[in-house]
Chains A and B, each alone.
Chain A
């Protein structure tokens, strides 16, 4: 909206909520209702509030969030598919006083990058891994992911995922929580205001733990894919609560003792 034609009464109002400076002006390419935009924003809000924009390096994955660095106004690297945690490991080793995070989806982190994910967590690298799990390959058009639920239809599981052909949904947060290198493992969502607030707290805590060199922090965000799931945003969030949450229940999996 053009600033000059705005209602002067509106201009007189106080600004109580605005875009953080850690987000660029580039418009998100994400589909309507997708969780990525909210996760991006919350992550960048925390970085702004902690005042660590100049001390943070992020790593983007391959997948829907491949362009995360278009939106996040911080120094970033774009990793090869699945390798974000290896890239983040090396950045952190070279720059141990910087805050480093990787931002990855379920195809990236739980399929092609499983080895890097496990070993990064097992080494206890002092980084934050943000894992957005929507149980589908969104960017490539809705194929089955390791986290796809049994019975769930995708373009490569057209009659629904079966154990016989594709095994079981992979619970990555549960897996990394078992490893002694992880310090904080938690699962969240962004489909309600309260859930967003909880995620923001978890991200803030993770950066604090990183400063204290406590080990790997791993935050799974159970999210949706209205386009890939072929639902409206509201339907997708309802479906997520009813079907994703029983398999991937929100809550802490590992908290500091």
Chain B
């Protein structure tokens, strides 16, 4: 169905914008339908798919709103197709009701948020202000999205393949949480070998027309009896537990001898990496932990690092301090966790991050005990 000739049999290297690399990966992943609405800074995804995607067999529909887009994703995913939408912060807010329905009806799909500065109409510059919305459910009711946080154009592409596969594996919506800079910047990207037909799972639950041989298939999130609705919730929570057990991904840099740890994701992790190198040149033994999955969150990895060796952690984000709450929950007060952030579309510099780190080092009780 609509995926002919989309196999990448030899990996292939290109120089591309993040949004375009993501869109190219969408085509190569065998995605059958894209439903979206223009919004800066991610409109290139819709534009690329409207041209390249359609030529290579995709259904691409520019919807009348983000509300319509996400409900089209619901319908198309329910009909058994590999489908997605993309948007940026205000548009993703409009999709939250639909995402709650999709999560409850257990429809696999991919959603991309190229995060811009808020609240409100905000700015078109990059931000991480949607961390809470992305990782805590976002809409009404108890549900979670699997949230992947790319930090490079390479990962903008890679996480599309992984995202669709995870969505199918768990029958759960997957969110790629990028930001305006990752969407707009150009880098080298290598497209992996990938044959969609080998990855797409059968969907016997899809509504495709009821043959005599089976009962009718129903896609719904409505279970009016509370006993039934509780069972649905218990099932979802069991699934989220499995996701937390199996799908945590993160990257550690310079953590073996680290006395301090920076925790950052996405674009900020790139800046923090540079800050770590600058601080090490000053003699500060600092490492970096970069969550690649924001849900499931690398809680155990952080708890394990909150040992005698680590004196303190610095969480850096492009928001007022959102992921820092999850880091504090993970380390359970065993080490001090400080926060440094810029808001409203401002990107922090590596030097600012080093300054914030130096403050943490100066205030460190253990460090002083050793030095004096």
**Which residues of A are at the interface with B, using a C-beta cutoff of 8 A?**
53-57, 59-60, 66-67, 69, 72-80, 83, 86-91, 93-95, 98, 115-116, 118-119
Contacts and interface: CB of A to CB of B under 8 A. Distances in A.
Nearest to A69: B218
A83 B222 contact: no
A31 to B, nearest CB: 17
Given A80-B71, A86-B72, A86-B75, A91 B207 contact: yes
Contacts of A88: 75
Contact of B207 (A53, A77, A83): A77
Interface string B90-130: 00000001100100010000000000000000000000000
Given A73-B216, A119-B63, 7 more contacts: A53-B210, A54-B210, A76-B216, A90-B75, A94-B32, A115-B64, A119-B64
B39 interface: no
Contact of B78 (A77, A89, A115): A77
A74 B210 contact: yes
10 A-B pairs closest in CB distance: A90-B75, A87-B75, A78-B220, A83-B71, A75-B207, A90-B72, A90-B76, A119-B64, A77-B219, A86-B71
A70 to B, nearest CB: 9
Contact of A93 (B59, B67, B78, B98): B59
B208 interface: yes
A83 B72 CA distance: 8
B221 interface: yes
Contacts of B68: 83, 86, 115-116, 119
B35 interface: yes
Contacts of B350: none
B207 A76 contact: yes
21 contacts: A53-B212, A56-B210, A59-B75, A66-B222, A72-B216, A73-B210, A74-B209, A75-B207, A75-B210, A76-B207, A76-B216, A78-B221, A83-B71, A86-B71, A87-B75, A94-B75, A95-B208, A116-B68, A116-B71, A118-B64, A119-B68
A54 B211 contact: yes
Contacts, number: 128
B218 to A, nearest CB: 5
B76 A74 contact: no
Nearest to B82: A94
A57 B222 CA distance: 18
B211 A77 contact: no
B209 A94 contact: no
A19 to B, nearest CB: 16
Contacts of B318: none
Interface of B: 1, 32-33, 35, 59, 61, 63-65, 67-68, 71-76, 78-81, 83, 97-98, 101, 105, 207-212, 216-222
User: Which of A69, A75, A119 has the most CB atoms of chain B within a 10 A radius of its CB?
Assistant: A75
A76 B219 contact: yes
B335 to A, nearest CB: 44
Contacts of B210: 53-54, 56, 73-75
Contact of B218 (A66, A78, A80, A119): A78
A98 B32 CA distance: 17
A76 B210 CA distance: 9
A98 B76 contact: no
Contacts of A69: 216, 218, 220
Contact of A90 (B1, B79, B97, B217): B79
Contacts of A76: 207, 216-219
Given A54-B211, A55-B209, A75-B210, A83 B67 contact: yes
A140 to B, nearest CB: 14
Nearest to B67: A83
Contacts of B217: 75-76
Contacts of B78: 77, 87, 91
Contacts of B35: 90
Nearest to A62: B222
A38 to B, nearest CB: 21
B209 A77 contact: no
B167 to A, nearest CB: 16
A86 B207 CA distance: 16
Contacts of A59: 75
A43 to B, nearest CB: 15
A91 B75 CA distance: 5
A165 B83 CA distance: 43
Contacts of A57: 79, 207-209
B53 to A, nearest CB: 13
A211 to B, nearest CB: 14
B212 A87 contact: no
A223 B177 CA distance: 47
User: Which of A59, A74, A83 has the most CB atoms of chain B within a 10 A radius of its CB?
Assistant: A83
B31 to A, nearest CB: 12
Contact of A80 (B1, B59, B64, B97): B97
A119 B259 CA distance: 59
Contacts of A94: 1, 32-33, 59, 75-76, 79-81, 83
